[in-house]
Structure 1
Amino acid sequence: MSQENGEVLVSREGNCWTFTLNRPEKMNALNANIVESLLAGIEDAHANGASVLVFRGNGRNFSAGFDFGGFEEQSEGDLLQRFVRIETLLQAIDGSPCLTVALAHGKNFGAGVDLFASCKVRISTPDAFFRMPGLKFGLVLGPRRFGALVGTQVARAILEEARGFNAQEAEAIGFLTQTADEAGWPELITQANGRAAQLDAATRAHLYQVLGNQAGYDADLAALVRSAAAPGLKDRIRAYRSAG
């Protein structure tokens, strides 16, 4: 099964569902349509017995993060709702009973990096780059998940400066599972399918629940809402974008 059109392409081979971000002209920035399409696709995959979910991007990179296009015409309430829906998506991926695999290449930013970080298996090309600048405009999105992967001190040092890091550093600090050229990705997906098949669906779901981060979901959402709801969100975004 495959969906060949749209900003999210969905393909299915057996119990493996692949979601491909398909806005290459916008570096796969996450607009509302992509977020809602991913949420609906993940729900559909769960309902239809998926065991592996793969996330990747067309074009030059995986994702440039939040799509700021037209933000001046949106109210601060509208922007807050968009950020909440992104956090909802991140929690749906993080809490999935499926083995989730993210495949990244190119330059990736913000919520795109958070989406990548929400997956259990995180693979990038050796030339990939990651940066999470949300704190520069006062947005608290995903720091706990990042800290759970790389450790609190490392996360704090990187996020305080909104410092970017390459694939080599990402692998060294535990943010990446491994690096691999795109030519090697099909074999890694095959391996993920074999790994997921080692447990029945109910046992795998229980394992991921016990080892998961669900206990912090409400706190993550509350921190995001508090940060985004502070007056002046658009002014902060405007200043951040003006600073380059």
Structure 2
Amino acid sequence: MSYEAINVTIDAANQVATITLNRPDKLNSFTRQMHGELAAALDEVVAAHARALVLTGAGRGFCAGQDLADLDFTPGAMTDLGDLIGEHFNPLIRRIQALPFPVIAAVNGTAAGAGANLALACDLVLAARSASFIQAFVKIGLVPDSGGTWFLPQRVGMARALGLAMTGEKLGAEKAETWGLIWQAVDDEALQSTAQNLAIQLAKQPTRALAAIKQAMRHGLSATLDEQLDLERDLQRELGASHDYAEGVRAFIEKRAPRFEGR
């Protein structure tokens, strides 16, 4: 499939896919077209049997959130933001969270509004040292969406989450790392290579186990200890019957590097 608002590349040898938001003149802000292309691209990545995905942006920004020019402000016919979120943003966030392999956000510049929360929906977030995260919603009289009110308190605590959301202040990448909002801040010139190398590393791991780790960690955010213990038991039973578990044990016994296949 051909795309206009995004670019998709698939490194078949390493089973790594990269999706680049590609509206650099608009800081890669979202339009309905971009949403449709992203949905199709995720289908393509899954169909290609990718075992890791990098999500990044073209130009000087990662994503500035919703492109307001794509909305209707005509009196009496204004875009219903609830419909927009329910039809486009929420399905995208849910899809990224549910992908059965690791997703890495490589934040190369400004990540604002829904763009910031799109990054936070990924499993691991790398950011260029010059990058920043802005919960810009309050500046136009809105509440953080695309999971922002869920991701922020869990990662940085309620005091910092409220501060970011209520002031709309810019949070630099290095402070975001210190606060635990992201995985790592890296030098600007090393961002893309670091993200690709991490994706290649993760793609060589037991993919089913990584998917189960994602599932278990997120389940634990709202589960009781008893519920979590039961889930761990069930996941371990399932993974204990997998090809990669058997390969990992054999490699350990034979004192060699395992050759995981993601099954």
Report the TM-score, using the length of structure 1 for normalisation. Answer: 0.78
Query: For structure 1, which segment, 20-29 or 175-184, has the greater mean C-alpha deviation from structure 2 after superposition?
Result: 175-184
Q: Deviation above 4 Å: which 4+ runs of structure 1?
A: 213-216
The higher radius of gyration belongs to 2
Matched, 1:111 2:110: no
Deviation at 1:192, TM superposition (A): 2.5
Identical-residue share of aligned pairs (%): 24
Equivalent runs, 1:162-201 vs 2, <5 Å: 162-184=168-190, 185-199=192-206, 201=207
Counterparts in 2 of 1:136-215, with a 5 A limit?
136=139, 137-141=141-145, 142-184=148-190, 185-199=192-206, 201-212=207-218
Which of 3, 8, 11 is 2:9 aligned to? 11
SS at match of 1:146: helix
Separation in structure 1 between the aligned mates of residue 176 and residue 113 of structure 2, nearest angstrom: 15
Any gaps of 5 or more consecutive residues in structure 2?
Answer: 223-263
Q: Map of 1:1-244 to 2, 5 A cutoff? A: 5-14=3-12, 15-71=15-71, 72-73=73-74, 75-76=77-78, 78-84=80-86, 85-136=88-139, 137-141=141-145, 142-184=148-190, 185-199=192-206, 201-212=207-218
Greater length-normalized contact order (CA 8 Å, ≥ 6 residues apart): 1
* Alignment length (residue pairs): 213
Amino acid at match of 1:139: V
Cα deviation for residue 164 of structure 1 reads: 1.7
1:85-133 C-alpha deviation (Å, 9 max, x unpaired): 1121112112222111111122221010011111111111111121112
In the aligned structure 1, how far is the partner of 2:176 from the partner of 2:108? 13
SS at match of 2:68: coil
139-148 or 92-101, larger mean C-alpha shift: 139-148
- Contact 1:95/1:212 (CA < 8 Å) preserved in 2? no
SS of 2:62's equivalent in the other structure is coil
Change (3 A) 1:62 1:214: farther
